[in-house]
Amino acid sequence: MTIGRLVYVLGPSGAGKDTLIDIARRALDGGAPVVFAHRYITRSADAGGEVHVPLSPAEFALRESRGLFALSWHSHGLAYGIGREIDLWLAAGLTVVVNGSRGYLPQAAERYPDLVPVVIRVDLPELRRRLIARGRETAAEIEERLARAAAFTVEHPNRVTLDNSAAPAEGGARLTALLRTLADA
């Protein structure tokens, strides 16, 4: 059996990663050998954003200490984990999609050398508009996020960049097509 491939979606906050992943999940809906990993996060379930498995910091630490995460990292005061089940899915020949962290990419690539980083990019004026519209950050925090987004680069031989500056349906269709192609490879 063919070993599957890990698709590591990343990009700046506000780029639309969750939206594009959700569009692709609905579009594929079992019609291709592609599965979508959920994240375990030390954030309440009703905090908004992606659907995730909420854990207390203590439970996250317990799971992390027992090796239950294939990938885990800390960012913006939260802990994030991807469960070890993805290793079973990859061994079964599935393409596995995860919502990753820009800062954790080197560690993820070390563990999964054949991963495909999919960088979601957005023009800075559009990114600013989206961050303002969602209303979660102060003006200073938005400027900090924009500066980080402008400086962010990904160097990886398998890197794919998807532009999500237009309507989410367009970016979602591009991600769906990419996932179909990777699953058929």
Q: In what order do the strands lie in the sheet with 95-99?
A: 34-36, 95-99, 6-10, 116-121, 160-163
Report how far residue 30's alpha carbon sits from residue 125's, in angstroms, rounded to the nearest whole number: 36
14 appears as a binding residue in the annotation: yes
Q: Which amino acid is at 95?
A: T
How far is the first Cα of the chain from the last one, in angstroms, to the nearest whole number?
Answer: 13
171 appears as a binding residue in the annotation: no
Report how far residue 161's alpha carbon sits from residue 153's, in angstroms, rounded to the nearest whole number: 11
Q: Beta partners for 91?
A: none
- Vertex 180: Cα angle to 84 and 111 (nearest 5): 30
What does R_g of the chain's alpha carbons equal in angstroms? 16
18 appears as a binding residue in the annotation: yes
11 appears as a binding residue in the annotation: yes
Q: Cite the annotated binding site by residue number.
A: 11-18
Annotated binding-site residue numbers for ATP: 11-18
